[in-house]
Structure 1
Amino acid sequence: MPSPQQARAQASAITSGKTVPEAEAAPTSQLRELFDGPHLSPGQRRIAQYLIENIAEAAFLSITELADRVGVSQPSVTRFAAAVGFSGYPALREKLQTIALRTLAGGPGADEDRANELQAAVDAEIANLENLRRDLADPGRIIDIGRALSASMPLTVLGLRISASLAEYFAYAARRIHPDVRLVTRGGSVAYDALLQSREAGGTWVLAFSMPRHAQETLAAVRVARHAGLRVALVTDLALGPVADEADATFATGTGSRLVFDSYAAPGVLCAALLQAMTDADPERTQARLEEYEQIADQHQFFLRD
């Protein structure tokens, strides 16, 4: 009998193309796409991030109010509107209002107001998962990056500080289907050594995780990877910012921030989606490695028999 992982590898291959043609991208994803193209200054990035995080309210602010909220000048807002392709702030605001109205129309009902703090945290994670679901309506980018990660020999997985937990999960699972996965959870010279050795050994890609609070040493490690000739796929909560600017491919999805410590429901599902894409990229290798692992697990009784 195949293991659950083997069964899923056989039965749940990702199919390319828009599986839900009528699905519209999440509002935050629409905004990230809108702001992701141009090279924005640090002040302009602050404006973009404020709009992403506060779209329902920010879309209806005057230029003066928005400038005050972000802490920039009115001319800065005007230049930002031009930088992202609009004739001026009024044109940008009209676009923002269209997105905001869709958000409000599809937003949670009055029951959310009566939820306690723990329920509100779960509601927020459900919203993050709904947004991720919309983003995955066309899984083409996941498929492409999964193929690239699968082909990288070795594959390096980087996650520092709070991001180490996601990196460890991904690396643990990836080792079942990939022959050489190298996990880096320490920064500084340790990360530098690992990244340089990975490139010298023939590696082509690094999968990096950057969750709040975003660590300076993560940015430094990503820059080292790029300088060494490695390409970087990034899983994070922000499509805009210094780390995302350095990445070759960025997958941005929301994290739960309603409690004292963040939760990672959507990034966890995104990890599983990338792993699925890796299994699909080389199904014969996947099957062989899973079968070999199951034999070893049975021989050494790794797991309880439920």
Structure 2
Amino acid sequence: MPSPQQARAQASAITSGKTAPETGAAPMSQLRALFDGPRLSPGHRRIAQYLIEHITEAAFLSITDLAERVGVSQPSVTRFATAVGFSGYPALRERLQSIALSVLGSTPSTPAEHRSNELQAAVDAEIENLENLRRDFADPDQVIEVGRALSRSTPLTVLGLRISGSLAEYFAYAARRVHPDVRVVTRGGSVAYDALLQSRAAGGTWLLAFAMPRQAQETLTALRVARSAGLRVALVTDLGLGPLADEADIVFATGTGSRLVFDSYAAPGLMAAALLQAMTDADPERTQGRLEEYEQIADQHQFFLKD
């Protein structure tokens, strides 16, 4: 089975016209194949979802009518067509019409069924991401090594800007249970640079960064600041190549779910948990002592509901 990067490259080749979609595939599978490869913005995904749910009608709409139905501008539709590998909307509509005619000649389905299939397809895509991660974990040495390094870095800084902030917050919240000084950075610009420089000045040696699509320019700048300050960088992202990866010492490439309007992060979340596990195993005595101390404080102040 291809890696997430290989799968994206193959899908991108399909949508750009370099490789035709599988002719024997079901019409709806052909339609989804058009939109799987590109890394679409949330606005573009709305257009893709509308086309999937209303293909037999939408394929014959003018660009003006389609934009009005989806609630976007006409330039957005044109940019969407380009993003999925076509020269413009007329070329995309021609391809959509051939798929729509195939749908009309097959067993009828309802928009509700299309939506249900899209949700199932999103789950299937995440299962594939997890399967790829499982194969990566067949050799866990790199995860273990980085977990030890993160455990030794005091302070340990965790970076996640824009939508990646949720993963950074999750990791930092758990890491504080087993590490004495974890600093999380979820604001970009000079605030991030100041935090990174302070972390290095305080003795920190590593930065753990999360960068999910769509990667922010300010994340790239922050990584460069961290590297220039002398911090080593471990990066959890969706691609093993690119400008962000070029600024990292270690890259953990994990696929993200991109079937829905907004990405889902089953595999990156599991990668974060695996790095946390490696940190706890790096210093078992400190881990146990800090966890027991935290449980005592939690009981004393009634942080959690009783079972």
Normalised by the length of structure 1, the TM-score is 0.66
**Which residue of 2 is the match for residue 185 of structure 1?**
186
Residue 250 of structure 1 corresponds to which residue in structure 2? Answer: 251
How far does the alpha carbon of each residue in 1:58-93 deviate from its partner, in whole angstroms, 9 at most, with x for none?
59x9xx948xxx9xxxxxxxxxxxxxxxxxxxxxxx
CA distance, structure 1, for counterparts of residue 126 and residue 239 of structure 2:
16
Q: Which residue of 1 aligns with 2:71?
A: none
| Percent identical | 78
1:219 paired residue number? 220
Instruction: Identify unmatched segments of 5+ residues in structure 1.
Output: 1-25, 33-50, 71-112
SS at match of 2:252: strand
CA apart distance, 1:115: 6.2
Name the SS for the 1:116 alignment partner. helix
> In the alignment, which residue of structure 2 is the partner of 1:152?
153
Is 2:246 the partner of 1:241?
Answer: no
Give the C-alpha shift of residue 170 in structure 1. Answer: 0.1
- After TM superposition, the score normalised by the length of structure 2 is 0.66
CA distance in 2, matches of 1:175, 1:271: 14
Query: Match of 2:3, as an amino acid?
Result: T
2-side partners of 1:160 and 1:181: how far apart? 16
1:264-305 Cα offsets, whole Å, 9 max, x none, are 000000000000000000000000000000000000000001
Give matches, 1:3-22, under 5 Å.
none
Which structure is larger by alpha-carbon Rg, 1 or 2?
2
- Does 2:2 correspond to 1:27? yes
Stretches (4+) displaced over 6 A: none
Residue aligned with 2:3, SS: helix
Q: Residue 219 of structure 2 aligns to which amino acid in structure 1?
A: T
In structure 2, give the amino acid aligned to 1:55.
Q
CA separation in 1, counterparts of 2:206 and 2:223?
A: 11
RMSD over aligned CA atoms reads 2.2
Separation of aligned partners in 2, 1:244 and 1:276: 23
The residue type equivalent to 2:242 in the other structure is: G
Give a deviation string over 1:126-156, Cα, whole Å, max 9, x none.
1111110011011000000000000000000
Structure 2 residue aligned with 1:284 = 285
Mapped partners of 1:251, 1:53: distance in 2: 17
Partner AA of 2:178 in structure 1: I
